[in-house]
Amino acid sequence: DTGVSQNPRHKITKRGQNVTFRCDPISEHNRLYWYRQTLGQGPEFLTYFQNEAQLEKSRLLSDRFSAERPKGSFSTLEIQRTEQGDSAMYLCASSLNSPYEQYFGPGTRLTVT
């Protein structure tokens, strides 16, 4: 399967713990995006990379959130000191350097108890 992959698919953590998610984009795609989707809502943009450079961050990305894309390949999204409000589906997408389609991964569902 050459699509976007995300790991883990599900994560349950206790409030205050740190969590890290991984996204592997489609191999030739130089752009990578993170979105957050809460139940019954549309995805909301968090951040985006072009190659290894993080070019844009949403105001939703508080200082507890950090994302990296070393060497312009896979990306990680870390949430420190998780809160119950962080419970959501975290979606990763990738694309070529074009205005067209973003290809989405299956998401990581985070539950903070």
Partner 1 sequence: AQTVTQSQPEMSVQEAETVTLSCTYDTSESDYYLFWYKQPPSRQMILVIRQEAYKQQNATENRFSVNFQKAAKSFSLKISDSQLGDAAMYFCAYRRDGGTSGSRLTFGEGTQLTVNP
Nearer to partner 1, 42 or 85 (CB): 42
Report the interface residues with partner 1, using CB under 8 A: 3-4, 31, 33, 35, 40-45, 48, 50, 55-56, 58, 91, 95, 99-107
DSSP 8-45: -SEEEE-TT--EEEEEE--TT--EEEEEEE-TTS--EE
- Shortest Å, Cβ 113 to partner 1: 21
Nearer to partner 1, 42 or 70 (CB): 42
Q: Left if phi > 0, otherwise alpha if psi is -120 to 50, otherwise beta: which for 28?
A: alpha
- Shortest Å, Cβ 29 to partner 1: 12
Nearer to partner 1, 14 or 98 (CB): 98
- Shortest Å, Cβ 41 to partner 1: 6
CA angle 10, 16, 20 (to 5 degrees): 40
